Amino acid sequence: MKLQRTGHRYRDVETGKTIDVWFPRNAASCRRSCLAEKVGLISGDVVEVMIDSLSAPPISTEDAYLRLHLLSERMVKPNEVNLDGVFGLLLNVAWTSAGPVLPGKVDELRSLVAVEYHHLSVPSVDKFPRMSDYVVPSGVRIADADRVRLGAHLAPGTTVMHEGFVNFNAGTLGESMVEGRITPGVTVGKNSDVGAGASIMGTLSGGGKAKNSIGERSLLGANAGIGISLGDECIVEAGLYVTAGTKVKLPDGQVVSAKTLSGRSGLLFRRNSQTGAVEVLLTNAERWGGLNTSLHVND
C-alpha cells in the first residue's frame, strides 16, 4: 500500500539535518512558526513524503515521522507498521519552548530569544517528541502529556493518569485505564487496567522480540509486572512480577514456567503470603469489578 502525505519540516540551518516533521490531517493548514526559526537556527518548509510499503523499514527521518503519526492518528495499530531502524533515523532533539533544536544549540537559542522576553524552558531532550504536540486523538484524557510519546496509539475512552507512560508503537485498543508503563510493541485490550507503577515488558526490553499484550477486562495490579501476555479476564495481584521463567503452581499442584500460560484467559496470578510460591487460580473480571465506566467517557 502506497501512502503520501504533506508535512511541515524543520531542519537545522547549519547542517541541513531534519529535526522533525508535522503531518496535519488538513494539508491546507500545513505551516508552523516558532522563535527558533525566527532567530535563524532552524528553517521550515513543506515536504511531500511517500511511503511505498508500510511493511518495509523506514528509509528517512521524514518517513519515520509519518509512520509515528499514523500510529497516533489510529490509522494503524501497534505492530502493523515496520519501524526497524527508527532510532537511527531520528535525531536527538532539545524540545524547547521556542521550538526544536539540536542539543548543542540550546545555549545559543537561549541568548537569541532573550531579546523577545522569552524565558526558555527545555522539557525534554530525546529522539521522540510528546504526542500531543503533533496529534491529539479524540476521546482520550492524558494527565501528563510528557509521558506519552509520538507513535503511541490511544483508543477512544483511554485515560492516562499522571504516572502512566505510553511509548511509541504501543498503546490501547479500547477503553482503558493506564496508570503504569506500556512499552514498545505492547497492546492493552478493551476495559483493562494497568495499575499504578505496573509495567509490561516490550520489544526493546533486553532486545526481546516477543510481543506481549493484555487482553480485555483484565487487571495488572499496582506495582505489578508481566513478561508474558495476559488473555481476557486475567488478574495479576499488586506487587507481583511474572516473567516468562517464573515458576507458578497450578490448581492441580503442577509447577510450570509462566511462559506456558502466556495469552491464556481467566487466570489470577498471586503470591502465597505464607509459602512465597506464585500460584495461579481460575477467575474472571468480576473478581475486581471492572473499570469505572464514568471515568472513560472522554468527550
Q: 3-state secondary structure string, the chain?
A: CCEEEEEEEEEECCCCCEEEEECCCCHHHCCCCCHHHHCCCEEEEEEEEEECCCCCCCCCHHHHHHHHHHHHCCCCCCCCCCCCCHHHHCCCEEEECCEEECHHHHHHHHHHHHHHCCCCCCCEEECCCEHHHCCCCCCCEECCHHHEECCEECCCCEEECCCCEECCCEEECCCEEECCEECCCCEECCCEEECCCCEECCCCHHHCCCCCEECCCCEECCCCEECCCECCCCEECCCCEECCCCEEECCCCCEEEHHHHCCCCCEEEEECCCCCCEEEEECCHHHCCCCCHHHHCCC
Distance CA(149)–CA(220), nearest Å, equals: 22
Catalytic site residue from 179, 216, 233, 237:
179
| Beta carbons within 8 Å of 86's beta carbon, 6+ residues apart | 58, 64, 67, 168
Residues 234 and 266 sit within 8 Å (Cβ to Cβ)? yes
216 has catalytic annotation: no
Whether the CA torsion 288, 293, 295, 296 is positive or negative: it is positive
Distance CA(201)–CA(250), nearest Å, equals: 23
C-alpha cell at 97: 519552548
Catalytic machinery residues: 179
